[in-house]
Structure 1
């Protein structure tokens, strides 16, 4: 259900206008980079920016063409020998897939990204923004990739346009020094944008945005070519996944800055609708754009009106206001964006990182480096995988350490008395909680190492184990095999139905005598060791196993 919030109209208009101006050169440049032309970039920014804001689940997010998406589109354009209709078909199909992702609830899983990964991602984006603007501050047009922009810096330093540098640094200073009480009426970045543009127009000769094409789009209906179908579908899947990850990561950044909470699945649906319409009107695919979203939030945007305003600003440019925007100096935008980049870097965490876990700091730095020098998707994927592995290792260590022989805290005096009487011949292991694949590798070794000498009966207490995965079940099978080869009886106590079904399904039967509780298993062990016969549990001699029930 679409809901418009008019509680922050002034801030949303200011944020949307500023984000729209910032998005203008990016949309044009990314359109050219895709091979589809500048107008494709503008149409994509307009369609995605408006409809993703209208139907999406992140109120302050600004969507539009992004680098990862353009890389895929450029490759597809080259593979299809310049067939624009097939490229737009891939964009539309990607939008449909994103809607399906949202309906299926895929978005909730991308929200499980650890904070060090988000911090590294945010700081990396901030560093990229600054790196890409340094050349423009000196009056040049640097490459659009961070590494190439850094390689370009020596050339820029050798030929500085001091008028552009002064204008850019003045814009940056104005962003910081603009009084906060004035900012309620005219946000600092927008004030700096207007002031810098007027100064350059009347007094300076510096590079400006220049001529901007105008015109209305035409519809591009989807077409399918049997020879190119695989390429189109493959590109659509990649675009859908990249766009989903990129958008929801930007949503996390927006949440962190605006102290909000986005709806992941609704956001995917909004992104899908936006990309579908973008392809329909001849626009390139895009996603939630971190830099533009941050610009929006920093200049007052809070609700979906800001994203829609950003799209309307671009539409106004397309409809004929290009001559005004054409006078905006690159150095002014560079000054604003350097301020944005500095604000994005997670200074708060960096100041206290040395007091926290070293692994978290290392993970943050790794993600930051990969974001700058490789790409966002690789950085986040590597960060999430490494964080997950570290977490699994920590949980596994805790699980193995909690596997106690002769537990200190028994439930009843009878249990203590029984265990005390038979402790020299019985090893009782209490699983303190769920068993995961991470703990499986050390499980059998731990049991062998901590079994009492002279053990005739081994009791495994599953009372606190709600489920087993395959790795843990195989570890239990190893323990059972070791017990049998060592002439020991294996008693299993307190298994849930789910645990019992896993073990029975994997091994054909429960690998030992099956008891409802630890107390029952201790009683049976005492009977077996004293030579008494338990009618309910046959085969209690060492090495035997009662049938599962």
Structure 2
């Protein structure tokens, strides 16, 4: 396996900074899972190292995340704290993620529209800032965005001046650190060291505090028992959530570094990391947006930074905790406020009013749901709404271009036929893939555009590469309406796939005639109309319509 050594200094400083930032999060999330703080540390070490080593996103920092911990906490309660079964679920989740990567599931996340990504990124930035408001004011931050917001008024009534000044000074130092110095020592790391030294010698402010240390135990898979279904179900949820969380963070990393990650390779790396975490008693993890952003902003660019981040946490676990426990919470808060401000998509917000209103509305919706619900739900809802909006737009265009008038035809002979029989031949030309979005209005549109004098309906599929079941059923409805009104239905220009779908509904094509080209269909329609005109006694009735 090759390593990119062109940015070793930036990767080391980025990894160290990310490791320090990850430390309190890993401890807190370990406690929240019910498995204890060291389970959070071990999870961050294993997932962070192996996901970086085998993954497909260079600067990604992986470790315990909120969505994963919610699932683990629920499983902990359901299993009455049976750690062996919980770690089995973590290992199985890792195996499933490897399977996802091998099957190529990762490519589908690239279909997420930009307004959704923008809303997600901006929402993450807002969350980061909200969660740091209480530490800046000298108070512990409650869990969750709403809890942190709700505690701000109380924190404002009892501000810790020295803590606030230290946090603001750290923030100012990160902003004002000269760019030429940043090539040697990134601003966040410089602020971290300076703020810690100042606080250690002159200030009495809240610090990270005591950090437990120790080596992990090996945990093996446990199968069987009445509760195995709960374990398997949790493993599936962890695998899906972890994959979504990681690949969304990969998209954020791509946007910041102007690179492109390898989705399926990333899933394989995440899966190996989670499996390893389960074996050493660590909680499941995923690509962590905030830590990844910290790494990138501190100079990290390659997989080396993620591995360094894990080695920092390993050093803490092996006994170097006393050095990190003196880091003031206000210093971390100042650094993270800068991170939050940087990740907000200011570029899009400044020009959003110039684009489609729907895109702006979608971005704001995803932003709000990211902040006040959770990022997985936010992105899921955003993708569904964006897809529905796109389908509606395509369907509208398909319906608008459905009626083909004589002047739109290429053949002069076809134009003449349609002109001579304009009231009696109704021609409808479909363009592009005919999907369920247009199917809902297809029958209604044909009925509306067909005059009472129309005797032959022609549906031209020459420009239709395929159609789905909904569109095929709509054609069936058109055929049924034509039969009831004594009209003939001709289908022209069907390729093999369209023909197969229409015939597959009930074993036959729902029309009185099928033709390879539109010209053949028009000629046949004119011929049958002329035959009707010359019928006995001048009775202008068409031959029986099927």
Normalising by structure 1, what TM-score?
A: 0.96
- Maintained 8 Å contact 1:484/1:543: no
Cα shift readout 1:464-501 (whole Å, capped 9, x = no counterpart): 11111111111111111111111111110001111111
Find the counterpart in structure 2 of residue 324 from structure 1. 323
SS of residue paired to 1:69: helix
Find the counterpart in structure 2 of residue 516 from structure 1. 516
Find the counterpart in structure 1 of residue 148 from structure 2. 149
Q: Which 10-residue stretch deviates more, 379-388 or 410-419? A: 410-419
- Maintained 8 Å contact 1:405/1:450: no
Find the counterpart in structure 1 of residue 298 from structure 2. 299
Work out the CA distance in 1 between the residues paired with 2:406 and 2:267.
49
Find the counterpart in structure 1 of residue 8 from structure 2. 9
SS of residue paired to 2:431: coil
Question: How do residues 368-383 of structure 1 correspond to structure 2 at under 5 angstroms?
Answer: 368-383=367-382
SS of residue paired to 1:205: coil
Question: How do residues 63-462 of structure 1 correspond to structure 2 at under 5 angstroms?
Answer: 63-462=62-461
Shift of 1:544: 4.4
Shift of 1:462: 0.5
Find the counterpart in structure 1 of residue 40 from structure 2. 41
Work out the CA distance in 2 between the residues paired with 1:544 and 1:68.
65
Q: 1:160 to 1:132 in 2, by over 3 A?
A: same
SS of residue paired to 1:492: strand
Find the counterpart in structure 2 of residue 56 from structure 1. 55
Work out the CA distance in 2 between the residues paired with 1:264 and 1:423.
55
SS of residue paired to 1:23: helix
Find the counterpart in structure 2 of residue 506 from structure 1. 505
SS of residue paired to 1:227: coil
SS of residue paired to 1:336: helix
Q: 1:542 to 1:466 in 2, by over 3 A?
A: farther
Find the counterpart in structure 2 of residue 525 from structure 1. 525
Shift of 1:214: 1.2
- Maintained 8 Å contact 1:406/1:427: no
Shift of 1:505: 1.1
Q: 1:413 to 1:63 in 2, by over 3 A?
A: same
Cα shift readout 1:185-244 (whole Å, capped 9, x = no counterpart): 000000000000000000000011111111111110011232110110010000000000
Q: Which 10-residue stretch deviates more, 89-98 or 370-379? A: 370-379
Work out the CA distance in 1 between the residues paired with 2:308 and 2:322.
19
Work out the CA distance in 2 between the residues paired with 1:49 and 1:519.
65
Find the counterpart in structure 2 of residue 469 from structure 1. 468
Work out the CA distance in 1 between the residues paired with 2:396 and 2:69.
44
Shift of 1:149: 0.5
Q: 1:234 to 1:514 in 2, by over 3 A?
A: same
SS of residue paired to 1:463: strand
SS of residue paired to 2:246: helix
Work out the CA distance in 1 between the residues paired with 2:365 and 2:524.
55
Work out the CA distance in 1 between the residues paired with 2:4 and 2:543.
72
Work out the CA distance in 2 between the residues paired with 1:292 and 1:313.
14
Find the counterpart in structure 2 of residue 537 from structure 1. none
Work out the CA distance in 2 between the residues paired with 1:86 and 1:278.
14
Matched pairs, number: 539
Work out the CA distance in 1 between the residues paired with 2:361 and 2:43.
37
SS of residue paired to 1:490: strand
Cα shift readout 1:106-130 (whole Å, capped 9, x = no counterpart): 1111111111111111111111100
- Maintained 8 Å contact 2:211/2:325: yes
- Maintained 8 Å contact 2:532/2:542: no
Work out the CA distance in 1 between the residues paired with 2:545 and 2:521.
13
**Structure 2, gaps ≥5 residues long:** 534-540
Work out the CA distance in 2 between the residues paired with 1:63 and 1:433.
43
Shift of 1:407: 5.0
Work out the CA distance in 2 between the residues paired with 1:470 and 1:3.
48
Shift of 1:160: 1.1
Q: Which 10-residue stretch deviates more, 524-533 or 96-105? A: 524-533
Q: Which 10-residue stretch deviates more, 361-370 or 407-416? A: 407-416
SS of residue paired to 2:453: coil
SS of residue paired to 1:209: coil
Q: Which 10-residue stretch deviates more, 96-105 or 426-435? A: 426-435
Work out the CA distance in 2 between the residues paired with 1:224 and 1:30.
26
Work out the CA distance in 2 between the residues paired with 1:542 and 1:60.
72
Shift of 1:434: 1.5
Work out the CA distance in 2 between the residues paired with 1:407 and 1:202.
88
Shift of 1:545: 5.5
**Structure 1, gaps ≥5 residues long:** 534-540
SS of residue paired to 2:237: helix
Cα shift readout 1:353-410 (whole Å, capped 9, x = no counterpart): 1111111111111111111111111111111111111111111101111101425322
Shift of 1:66: 0.1
- Maintained 8 Å contact 1:211/1:322: yes
Find the counterpart in structure 2 of residue 538 from structure 1. none
- Maintained 8 Å contact 1:58/1:267: yes
Shift of 1:543: 6.3
Work out the CA distance in 2 between the residues paired with 1:209 and 1:180.
29
Find the counterpart in structure 2 of residue 536 from structure 1. none
Shift of 1:88: 0.4
Cα shift readout 1:87-122 (whole Å, capped 9, x = no counterpart): 000000000000011011111111111111111111
